[in-house]
Chains A and B, each alone.
Chain A
């Protein structure tokens, strides 16, 4: 399954809904999307990963890159994920310490208030 990306605006946040497989082949597409958003002035991002079926270290690299970019503008990047198989990857890398991870988009948006 390929990678699907849609974005929508929620107040001053941009929600990026990601679906499918984020791997070494598809990750550049997500990376371009995040770079485009930051270049366009969107510095508060919520990446909804509930539809992600697979994530590898390249995908982690893209998310870390996105986080670094928004931070350069005092922005934020929050993740929405409740899938154990995806959460496990953030846990074993320790990246749970740098990404705020929420169980819903609403919760992620509320956390910023």
Chain B
């Protein structure tokens, strides 16, 4: 059973609330201080994505967050009710793509990656859509960031076949940390 469960309407303003609660609960759970910033960012990205996905496909459905404090780990799951796999960019190993691979920015590249010239950037006189803040950044960047922040991340279909569940785990017993895979 989750230690703390949170259900909120799919509104951007509530993402901060989720962040504050996750931070407070992780602190109580004894997560190493260094991981606190990672948890804040990861839960924000997961919730912001869930809000976008729900707003697109199931605006009346809430986002469900569960914070699970286990003896040797701290897990946060974020579940949406949108189209399964929306805003999930898979990596070559079946996991998530890394943020740097997704953005594909090379140091001396002559050619900009395709997203760089996406119209969302607009010309200088382009009419901007206030809901479009991505500046052409590829969708899936939020989860790709998470890939670089958590010890384990698992993406699955919602329990009843609807939506996506993002499960993020940090090890709180540092002696139990498996070696990080080399990328």
Contacts and interface: CB of A to CB of B under 8 A. Distances in A.
Contacts of B40: 54
Size band of the B side of the interface? 35 or more
A38 B40 CA distance: 32
A1 B15 CA distance: 13
Contacts of A85: 37
A13 B22 CA distance: 39
A57 B135 contact: no
A69 B48 contact: no
Contacts of B135: 61-62, 64-65, 68
B45 A57 contact: yes
Interface of B: 12-13, 15-16, 19, 37, 40-41, 44-45, 48, 51, 98-100, 103-107, 116, 120-124, 128, 130, 133-137, 141-142, 145, 148-149
Given A25-B12, A92-B99, A92-B100, 9 more contacts: A23-B19, A23-B48, A54-B40, A61-B135, A64-B137, A65-B122, A73-B124, A93-B145, A97-B106
